[in-house]
Chain A
């Protein structure tokens, strides 16, 4: 589904990604781990289409479609979803209005009519229950004054509503207590199926107890320096990242 080939990206002429190779197939869960500053969030932003980053070399494609020339919204319409590490607060726009706009703009992008109101209502009800989101919460301004856990739950709620092909969860576990993490993880696991794929970006192994990856990749200094199965995450948890760093010739 997602193919990344020798991807190099920079910001303000500073190289962050220095040759990423990654292939993700439908039905798979991949975890990307690595120390701070290794380029994890940059990789997520570049896949999602943030314009601040310049792709200097390499290619990304989703289901055979090259992404380089596409805007963030066009990528979203193709089915890419990025759950933010720090979801942005937008006072004055309610959660419901925002998600309605997002869904209908995405449908417009695919040449579809607006979703009928009753269908929308039903879907909002179903997905908010999945994430144990209170009705009152839906009429509040988007992320405005939300706790860390509420913000992340809201991200996964939007993911549930938009039903992406490829969901990238950037540090979704940060700021979550154990209950919120369980809710978020249950939500993600319910949404997982044979046709979509999930990339979990995380520092720590603990989220991977709940969302179990098929593959774990270690990103260091802008490259994937090690890949393995879910046991790699446990090894990292036990040993830290230093052994990875010393293994790599920089």
Chain B
């Protein structure tokens, strides 16, 4: 059976014994119809021109893993920032793992989406926010149809979460190939502050295909810093859809670090719905072999006096391929918009490819929008210069790469995370440099 058919028939066989609000069931019913009509995206669609899902969707997946798989903390410790005091919401094959998690309901809610969807006291929040930022694109609809579990974070007004939250979705690969569809919902209410680190990680080399939707809401004057760490095994693929709705004077940053996996597609959509909103989108991609990373960003400037900053760096080796598709839409109401976008790439192999495409649609007349993309190689003169000072070629390349990517790391506010990213970069480049930039 084709994957699409299998998903459709699985939907109608979903366990309906879990009580959720009627409107959620309606949403799911509508969503599966969208997926039924459009199916998996193909390269014929402009938005998927350079990213083919063929190899991923043309294989059989287990849709409902057995769950309940015991995973020892020591086995997965390295995927946590374990030197960091933090909250943690951890899933194994889509099932919540209580013993790896540290959740709370004390003055805020850091817990499970399933709890929020079913408990009456969350009903108003779910009605206000669930599926209100997500769009109805086919892959998003597919997730919405099956959405039942993931992280749920609600930070009430004026609350600053004192430590970061780690959201980690593990897949064990105990089933041969696994399809996971987590759904995360993050809400920072008025003047709330929160930092979140998110990771999808397989624990074996079995194929895993994750199609995740995360909705993030930043109410007035809220501050959200969201970090995505993507360094998965060679047969793990991730289609990520992250939607951020921001209200007046809110500030939200998303940093995406893509260092590994078979295919990664990051759809990152910002919607600025009040004045003086600030949005930051940054990323470092370092891949090799036949890996593929696609960043498709969209910033909707809907209100006046807002800013957006995008800065994506890519380093592509071997036969890897990259895509950057950065779309900025400035509504005619959004006067005094300041939108900046940069995408800089280095190809360190003749066979690596990057397709980069800025897309600005500006309907207001008093705005500042700039964009720039570059594709180049590591500077040969700089490499020779460093080598004449005794720095070996590999280390010199790494140092230049660090220097190239460095300004993306500057805005990472969690020192332990910054250090981890530095280490991951060094590992990725196969060097050990004795300092952090």
Chain A: residues with CB nearer than 8 A to chain B? 48-52, 71-73, 75-77, 80-82, 84, 87-88, 90-93, 97-106, 109, 114, 158, 162
Knowing A88-B381, A97-B437 are in contact, say whether A102-B403 is a contact too (CB < 8 A).
no
- What is the distance, in angstroms, from B378's C-beta to the closest C-beta of chain A? 11
Residue of A nearest to B410 (CB): A92
User: A76's contact among B380, B389, B400, by CB below 8 Å, is which?
Assistant: B389
Whether A93 contacts B388 by the Cβ 8 Å rule is: no
B126 part of interface (Cβ distance < 8 Å): no
Query: Provided the pairs A88-B379, A105-B395 are in contact, do residues A49 and B387 lie with their beta carbons within 8 angstroms?
Result: yes
Q: Whole-angstrom distance from the CB of B190 to the nearest CB of chain A? A: 38
Contact B391 A84 (CB under 8 A): no
Task: Please name 16 pairs of A and B residues whose Cβ atoms are closer than 8 Å in the assembled complex, sorted by A.
Answer: A73-B391, A76-B387, A81-B388, A82-B388, A88-B381, A90-B403, A92-B402, A92-B404, A92-B437, A100-B435, A101-B433, A101-B434, A101-B435, A102-B386, A102-B391, A106-B389
Instruction: Report chain A residues within 8 Å CB of B396.
Output: 73
Interface string of B388-408 (1 = CB under 8 A from A): 111111011001101110110
A48 to B384, CA, bound (A): 9
Prevailing SS type, chain B contact patch:
helix
Residues of B within 8 A of A77 (CB): 390
Question: How far apart sit A99 and B435, CA to CA, in the bound complex (Å)?
Answer: 12
Q: Which 7 A-B pairs have the closest CB atoms?
A: A92-B403, A106-B390, A72-B387, A76-B390, A102-B389, A92-B406, A88-B385
Q: Is the CB of A92 within 8 A of B407?
A: yes
Whether A93 contacts B437 by the Cβ 8 Å rule is: yes
Say whether B62 faces chain A, with CB atoms less than 8 Å apart: no
Q: Counting CB contacts under 8 A, is B382 at the interface?
A: yes
Given known pairs A76-B390, A101-B434, A162-B390, the reply for A50 and B384 (CB within 8 Å) is: yes
Q: Cα distance A94–B407 when bound, in Å? A: 13
Task: Name the residue of chain A whose CB is nearest to the CB of B389.
Answer: A102
CA distance A97 to B385 in the complex (A): 15
- Please state if A73 and B390 are interface contacts (CB–CB under 8 Å): yes
Dominant secondary structure of chain A at its interface with chain B: helix
Q: Which residues of chain B have a CB within 8 Å of any CB of chain A?
A: 379-382, 384-393, 395-396, 399-400, 402-404, 406-407, 433-435, 437
Choose from A73, A90, A99 the contact partner of B393 (Cβ within 8 Å).
Answer: A73
CA distance A82 to B354 in the complex (A): 36
Complex Cα–Cα for A91 and B400 (A):
9
Closest Cβ of chain A to B246, distance in Å, is 30
**Cβ of B385 and Cβ of A109 under 8 Å apart?**
no
In Å, the complex CA distance between A93 and B401 comes to: 10
Taking a contact as CB atoms under 8 Å apart, the answer to whether A162 and B389 are in contact is yes
Question: What's the least CB distance linking A62 to chain B, in Å?
Answer: 14
| Residue of chain B at shortest CB distance from A161 | B389
Contacts of B395 on A, CB cut-off 8 Å?
101, 105
Q: Which residues of B contact A102 (CB under 8 A)?
A: 386, 389-391
- For residue A94, which residue of chain B has the nearest CB? B437
A50 vs B384: C-alpha distance when bound (angstroms):
7
B287 nearest CB across to chain A (Å): 21
Interface centre among B403, B406, B437, by most chain A C-beta atoms within 10 angstroms, is: B403
Q: Which chain B residue has the least Cβ–Cβ distance from A99?
A: B389
A100-B435, A101-B395 as given contacts; A84 in contact with B389, CB under 8 Å? no
CA distance A71 to B196 in the complex (A): 45
Q: Closest CB of chain A to B62's CB: distance in Å? A: 45
Closest B residue to A77 by beta carbon equals B390
Q: Which of A71, A80, A90, A109 has the most CB of B within 10 A?
A: A90
Q: Is the Cβ of B388 less than 8 Å from the Cβ of A72? A: yes
Residues of chain B within 8 A (CB-CB) of A162 are: 389-390
User: Quick one: which of B381, B387, B404, B407 contacts A71, CB cutoff 8 A?
Assistant: B387
* Residues in chain A near residue B433, CB distance under 8 A: 101
Interfacial chain B residues near A81, Cβ < 8 Å: 388-389
Q: In angstroms, how far is the closest chain B Cβ from the Cβ of A49? A: 7
Inter-subunit contact A101/B399 (CB<8 Å):
yes
Known: A103-B390, A158-B389. 18 other contacts (CB 8 A): A48-B384, A71-B392, A71-B393, A73-B390, A73-B391, A82-B388, A84-B388, A90-B399, A93-B403, A99-B389, A100-B435, A101-B395, A101-B399, A101-B434, A102-B389, A105-B392, A114-B434, A162-B390
How far apart are the CA atoms of A84 and B402 in the complex, in Å? 23
How many Å from the CB of A86 to the closest CB on chain B? 8
A210 to chain B, nearest CB (A): 24
Complex Cα distance, B389 from A77, in Å, reads 8
Say yes or no: B400 contacts A90, CB within 8 Å. Answer: yes
Q: How far is the CA of A99 from the CA of B385 in the complex (A)?
A: 12
| Complex-state Cα separation, A51 to B396, whole angstroms | 15
Query: Nearest-CB distance from A13 to chain B (Å)?
Result: 19
How close is A170's CB to chain B, nearest CB, in angstroms?
11
Smallest CB separation, B392 vs chain A (Å): 5
- A-chain residues with CB within 8 Å of residue B393 when the two chains form the complex: 71, 73
A84 near B385 with CB under 8 A, answer yes
In Å, the complex CA distance between A40 and B213 comes to 62
Complex Cα–Cα for A106 and B406 (A) = 24
A83's nearest neighbour on chain B, judged by CB, is B388
Contact yes or no, A76 B404, CB < 8 A: no
Q: Which one of A49, A50, A97, A162 has the highest number of Cβ atoms from chain B below 10 Å of its Cβ?
A: A97
* Complex Cα–Cα for A211 and B114 (A): 78
Roughly how many angstroms separate A88 CA and B403 CA in the complex, as a whole number?
13
Residue from B388, B392, B407 with most neighbouring chain A CB atoms (10 Å): B388
Closest to B391 in A: A105
Q: Give Cα distance in the complex from A92 to B433, angstroms.
A: 15
